[in-house]
Amino acid sequence: MQTIVDFLNGLVWSSPLVYGLLAVGLYFSLRMRFFQIRHFKEMIRLMFQGEKSPVGISSFQALAVSLSGRVGTGNIVGVATAIYIGGPGAIFWMWLIAFLGAGSAFVESTLAQIYKQNEDNQYRGGPAYYIEKGIGGKFGKIYAAVFALVTILATGFLLPGIQSNSIAGSMTNSFTMPHWVIGAILVVLVGLVIFGGIKSIANVATAVVPFMALVYVFVAIIVVIMNIQEVPAMFALIFKSAFGMEQQFGGIIGAMIAIGVQRGIYSNEAGQGTGPHAAGAAEVSHPAKQGLVQAFSVYVDTLFVCTATALMILMTGMYNVSDGDGGLLVDSGVYQETPGGEQNVEGTVAYTQAGLDKAFSGQDTFQAGFVGFGSYFISFALLFFCYTTILAYYYIAETNLVYLTKGRWPIVKTLLGVLLIGSVFYGTINSAGLAWDMGDLGVGLMAWLNVIGILILQKPAIAALKDFEKQKKEKGSGKYAIYSPDPATVKSADFWHVDYPKRLKEEKEYNMNYGDDER
């Protein structure tokens, strides 16, 4: 199985995808005149704007759901893996793909809003919807169906196991709990929420993700303050390594860029096609609003949370770096015990746990039997982060299943839930290496299909940004921007052509008839 997965990953994560993702992000950033800088303040304002309805969730809830998918094991274990394979310089490439990836995130999330539709009394949107409606014809339907099938496979089966595997690994490091017991607990916790739909998932994500992200970053800031004298040298190491100027890591620069982009995409999901599902569920008056909010979520994920992890690992020196040939360029003695009792020196949650234990408990060298504040804190942080990510994966897989079945055969949603729960349990007792490789395969396949799709369909999204900017200037605030696309230019956007104008008309008539009485 490992051989097959490695072969497929070699094809999917080839140089064209790695450098193509960087190029696409740069292209969109240039086309939209680096909106991620120009509209930074607007992103934050829109994030807290409270538009919602019985059908749609608010922008902040959509952000929380998308962040629950983004902020997970990739922010902790993914960063450790990037450092192990690519050294400290891999962090720079994660930053770069996040900054440029905000452009891809805006386009895909805005498209999800433009082509969303009401199904089962809730908004549904995402790549499958905008590929079918935007491209149109038989080719559009086939392309959309292929994406939906790949996404169901990736988020319903391949990716959940990575999250549960990380939870099990961190819990085993901190508590003497068998992996199968952790798996059983997760099965119950996941099952209690996923069958409640997007409202239930959004409520849990809104309560958990922002709080844990803030606490996590706050702890990282404390570590930085405790090691403030090492900050200049650490950033110098990151930048020098990223461009091959650090002799120790000069021989792995190719692996450094590849793993930085790969882990960056896995973490922030920009261009991958998962974020648009939550974006399409939001209630907004203009698609560009949610596009801006989702672009900001890429910053939260990588520039804040991933950087927090990198600081805690690099400043404490609790990491190993592979030489790419079975040996180690840096050997700090950090390892994690596998379910089979072996010592895994690769990038795992043990890096971050050992880093915090050193910072707060004074453990200068790695001691496998020591359990301090860092071990406990990271265990619970991963539990919350990965748990909400699993919930987001279910919603994404369910949305694509509903797309394929057109809402018929509700029993298949139950079967999907059972499949995902089975994947969660299997991930807790499976090896971390295979789980990550299978997840990388799923992410890569989705990214290929989605990036091609948004390049084809970019025009309506970019036009939406220009329209939003024009209305913002005319009305004095983006708050009052309303999307009214030309049916001849933006076809098949039924919600904005029919449903939303009808609602606005009804609200206007209601206010004219009853507004004075209510005041």
Which segment, 7-16, 32-41, 431-440, is predicted with the most confidence on average?
32-41
> Which residues sit opposite 122 in a β-bridge?
119
**pLDDT classification of 519: cutoffs 50, 70, 90:** very low
Over residues 179-188, the mean pLDDT reads 84
Return the SS3 of 479. helix
Checking if the pLDDT of 231 tops 90, the result is no
Residue in 130, 163, 124 with CA at minimum distance from that of residue 147:
130
What pLDDT is stored for residue 469 in this prediction?
Answer: 94
Decide: 50 and 58 in contact? Cβ < 8 Å. Answer: yes
| More confidently predicted of 247 and 105 | 105
Of the ranges 56-60, 231-235, 424-428, which one carries the lowest mean pLDDT score?
A: 56-60
The identity of residue 228, as a single letter, is I
**pLDDT classification of 130: cutoffs 50, 70, 90:** very high
Cα-based angle 97, 130, 44 (whole degrees, multiple of 5): 50
Q: What is the mean pLDDT of the chain?
A: 82
| Residue 224: both structure tokens together | 């930085």
Percent of the chain at pLDDT exceeding 90: 18
pTM: 0.83
Checking if the pLDDT of 460 tops 90, the result is yes
Over residues 123-138, the mean pLDDT reads 92
| More confidently predicted of 120 and 277 | 277
Measured in whole angstroms, the distance separating CA 378 from the mean position of its chain's CA atoms is 19
User: pLDDT tens-digit profile of 191-204?
Assistant: 877 776 666 777 77
